[in-house]
Every structure is written in structure tokens, then in C-alpha cells.
């Protein structure tokens, strides 16, 4: 059987891995250049140590700060979802409030109309008796 290898797509692969691999690829290239150069200039291990420490600091920075960004993005996403839920709740309250207000207005209008009708009919009976 043929072996199928899956290549991860660019979006599914973590960005930190891409940046880390680039940092260390450049560091390897610089080490390949600076090791013979340090032997020729009698600078010793200063150049290779500098390259390795720079790559290490760069890698640590990428992983630390991208982790903070991802947590802040997830917090922002959670806050956004919470606000959407609150808006939905307010819309529900307003919609039910409109029905309650409409019912109270209708009942008030009906009761005032009924009381006016009763009041006018009782006055007309009094006038007829007088």
C-alpha cells in the first residue's frame, strides 16, 4: 500500500513553530559562518555563544508573547459572547415588557371606558328620576 503523508496546512500549523524554525534556521547558518570566522580572528567562542543566546532569547520571546496574545484573544472572545448573551436577554425582557405594557394599557383603557360608561349611565338614571 502507498504511504500517504499529510502535510499540515498553513493555517492549522502553529505560527510559533514557523517562527521558531526560521529563527533556528538562520542561527544555524550564522553558526556555520561564525565558527570558521572565530577561529580565524582568535575571538574564541564569543560569536557562537552570541548567536545561540540570541536565537534562544528570540525563541523564548516568541513563545511567551504569543501565548499572552492568545489568552487575551480568548478573553476578548469570551467577553464578546457574554455581551451577546446580555443583549439577547435585554431583547427578551423588552419584548415581554412590551406585551405587559400593551396589556396594561388595554386593560386600563377598557376599565376607564367601562367606568365612564357606568358613570354616565348612573347619571342619566339620576336625571331621569329627578
Residue-wise pLDDT for 96-122, tens only, equals: 766 666 677 677 666 655 555 555 555
Q: What is the biggest distance separating any 2 CA atoms in the chain, rounded to whole angstroms?
A: 132
* C-alpha angle 99-100-106 in degrees, rounded to nearest 5: 90
CA distance 56 to 110: 81
Residue 8 domain flag = no
Give the residue from 23, 91, 103, 5 showing the smallest Cα distance to 61. 23
pLDDT in tens, 12-44: 467 889 999 999 999 999 999 988 888 788 778
**Domain of 54, in residue numbers:** 15-124
Q: pTM for this structure? A: 0.46
Residue 10 domain flag = no
Higher confidence at residue 59 or residue 66? 59
Residue 44 domain flag = yes
- Number of domains comprising the chain: 1
Higher confidence at residue 111 or residue 125? 111
8-state DSSP, 70: H
- The pLDDT of residue 109 is 66
Residue 129 domain flag = no
Residue 63 domain flag = yes
Residue 40 domain flag = yes
User: Is the separation of the CB atoms in 23 and 59 below 8 Å?
Assistant: yes
CA distance 6 to 9: 9
User: Is the separation of the CB atoms in 76 and 41 below 8 Å?
Assistant: no
Amino acid at each position: 500500500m502507498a504511504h500517504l503523508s499529510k502535510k499540515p496546512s498553513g493555517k492549522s500549523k502553529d505560527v510559533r513553530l514557523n517562527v521558531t524554525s526560521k529563527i533556528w534556521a538562520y542561527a544555524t547558518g550564522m553558526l556555520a559562518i561564525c565558527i570558521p570566522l572565530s577561529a580565524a580572528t582568535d575571538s574564541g567562542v564569543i560569536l557562537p555563544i552570541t548567536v545561540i543566546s540570541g536565537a534562544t532569547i528570540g525563541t523564548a520571546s516568541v513563545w511567551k508573547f504569543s501565548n499572552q496574545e492568545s489568552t487575551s484573544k480568548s478573553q476578548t472572545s469570551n467577553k464578546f459572547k457574554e455581551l451577546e448573551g446580555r443583549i439577547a436577554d435585554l431583547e427578551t425582557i423588552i419584548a415581554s415588557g412590551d406585551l405587559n405594557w400593551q396589556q396594561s394599557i388595554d386593560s386600563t383603557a377598557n376599565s376607564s371606558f367601562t367606568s365612564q360608561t357606568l358613570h354616565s349611565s348612573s347619571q342619566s338614571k339620576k336625571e331621569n328620576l329627578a
